[in-house]
Amino acid sequence: MDLDAFRWLLTDDGQRLLARAMDVAGDDPLRAQTALRRTADAEQVAAALTQATLRRKAVAKFGEYAERMYFTPDGLEQATRLRVAEHRAARLVASSASTLIDLGCGIGGDLLAGARAGLTCAGVDLDPVRVAVAAANLAALDLPGAVSVADATTVDPSGFDVAFADPARRTGRGRSFDVDDWTPPWPFVERLLTRDSCVKVAPGIPHGLVPDGVEAEWVSDHGEVKEAALWSGRLATTARRATVIGDGGLATLTDDDAPPLGERGVEVRPVGGFLYEPDGAVIRAGLVTAVAAGVGGGLVDEHIAYVTSDESFRTPFARGYQVLDELPYREKALRAALRERGIGSLTIKKRGVDIVPEELRKRLALVGDDEATIVLTRVAGRGTVLLVRPF
């Protein structure tokens, strides 16, 4: 998006056009452009329609605030989901931090959460458009804060209690999981983590890459792993943490909650009456044994992230299933067993086996009126199919 076009959107005429664009953005694109071109030129109309479209997409991340905010396509994609940013800001406030510098603020999502939590926030970004958007977002939500155009790697964060960074993980080839492709690059992150800092990283970051003394936290929102964050200095309170956010609020596990596997800790055991599928954040953090300990159970296999127990528990850290039966693992016999039960609609979950659920479902070619869920996995190294009922 052109900087001048965005600045024009903030004028009275631009705001009137944007309001009209919000009304017609869901219509046919050509019809929407035709309706708006009666009062503005093509560039202005394009800017307004782009903003209206992005606001609709942003509702999933920012909820009711989205309709007052401004975005760029890449800025929206990289922005932290509001609930996750609020959790991070709350951790900073709880640490007694009062000032925050966001080194690469993008469209300002984390600045907004920090300012709403009561932190004094400042942000920098290399892109003048993203800086203008971040400033507009602070103003739109009537929040204090300062943003400016600057290279994050040249900014001295020592005047702030905490430095935050969210390195861009996209290149001309698309999303990159190689830390050498990040902007700012990994050496910058390592230097930042020698002080009180928080760095947002990809959930797939290898445990071995996390520097000693730095806490790695994996966060999921309603069952979907959204990010990992590295906390350093006095902000680090454990080695590994899994935080899950749901309708009931927020819950967290740390490595202090996770007993060892074996040697009087959590054991591998036969499948009991109930099966538990740990949240993705728990699995990424390597804290599956914490779930097992919490439900009084064990693992079905030392290499598989399924927990089993003889008891039924409700836990925010795992999805629970009642185990109804064990079915044949061979495909022909499995088909016969499912048809005998009148199963026509089948949910297939799998872990640790080389099976593509969509392809298996087609090959089974089931016809029936009932629904069922099966879990294909390894139990003590043996391929197993469990008929389960979610609870």
Share of the chain above pLDDT 90, in %: 86
The larger pLDDT score, comparing residue 30 to residue 5, is at 5
Answering whether pTM is above 0.85, one says yes
Long-range CB pairs of 137-140 (<8 Å, 24+ gap) are 137/69, 137/70, 137/107, 137/108, 137/111, 137/112, 138/108, 138/111, 138/112, 140/68, 140/69, 140/70
What is the rounded distance in angstroms from the CA atom of residue 296 to the CA atom of residue 281? 20
| Strand, coil or helix: 260 | coil
The pLDDT of residue 177 is 62
Could you tell me which of 321, 320, 295, 316 has the C-alpha nearest to residue 247? 316
| Strand, coil or helix: 2 | coil
| Strand, coil or helix: 209 | helix
Close Cβ partners of 54 (under 8 Å, ≥ 6 residues apart): 71, 72, 73, 76
The band of 217, judged by pLDDT with boundaries at 50, 70 and 90, is: very high
Close Cβ partners of 85 (under 8 Å, ≥ 6 residues apart): 109, 110, 112, 113, 114
* pLDDT tens digits for range 179-201: 777 888 899 999 999 999 999 99
What is the rounded distance in angstroms from the CA atom of residue 337 to the CA atom of residue 353? 20
Q: Is the pLDDT of residue 52 over 60?
A: yes
* pLDDT tens digits for range 99-145: 999 999 999 999 999 999 999 999 999 999 999 999 999 999 999 99
Check residue 149 and report its DSSP letter.
Answer: E
Share of the chain above pLDDT 70, in %: 96
Q: Tell which CATH architecture fits domain 76-254.
A: 3-Layer(aba) Sandwich (3.40)
The pLDDT of residue 289 is 98
